[in-house]
Amino acid sequence: MREGRKADSTLVDVQKIHPGILVDLKYATADNFTRKKIYHFHRCFLQNKVAVALGKVQTKLESMNLGLKVWDGFRPPSAQRKLWEACPNERFVAHPSKGSCHSRGASVDVTLVTKDKKELLMPSAFDDFSEKACLHYKDAPEIALKHRDLLHRVMHEEGFLSYEWEWWHFNFQGWEQFPPITTFEFNIIR
């Protein structure tokens, strides 16, 4: 990422806000539903207000010997187009012409990890576009449902809103206040 002269927005690296947050951007690798590398960066960027709230979630989880793993944060418009081409279904991928909360730096895809950075069991894998990913899916191991419920409780307490079709996806309350970031150049607080 580079600093642009004419910035659309200011984003921060979530690990600068809270270094304990584990980042594993799935779209920076081929380990995603497209089986292709979509991003050329490996850091998670979010609006400052969103990143600070995520840091508070991490602090809460650390008191339970848990933590967060981030799979996605800010998503450039070019990446949104590639994801739409791979999955043109607005239930799972926002149409590029509308932009997404990810394209505003106001949305994050996360899961829970242990103190040793091992993912906790959830009802589905990341980017599982089946009913298993839905918030109201109940036919999963009880422990997976408890983990999902814990994740949603701690995220809601810090202002994040759930998305019905993906247990891992959270939009920050008031996401509308952040304009879509339409260029790949933006200011980054270091």
Would you please indicate which residues are annotated as catalytic (active-site) residues? 166
SS3 at position 148: helix
Spatial neighbors of 118 by CB under 8 A, at least 6 apart, are: none
Listed in sequence order, the DSSP H helices in the chain are 14-17, 48-62, 77-86, 142-157
Q: What is the dihedral of CA 62, 168, 171, 45, to 10 degrees?
A: 70
User: CA 91 from chain center: how many Å?
Assistant: 16
Rounded Cα–Cα distance for residues 106 and 169 (Å): 11
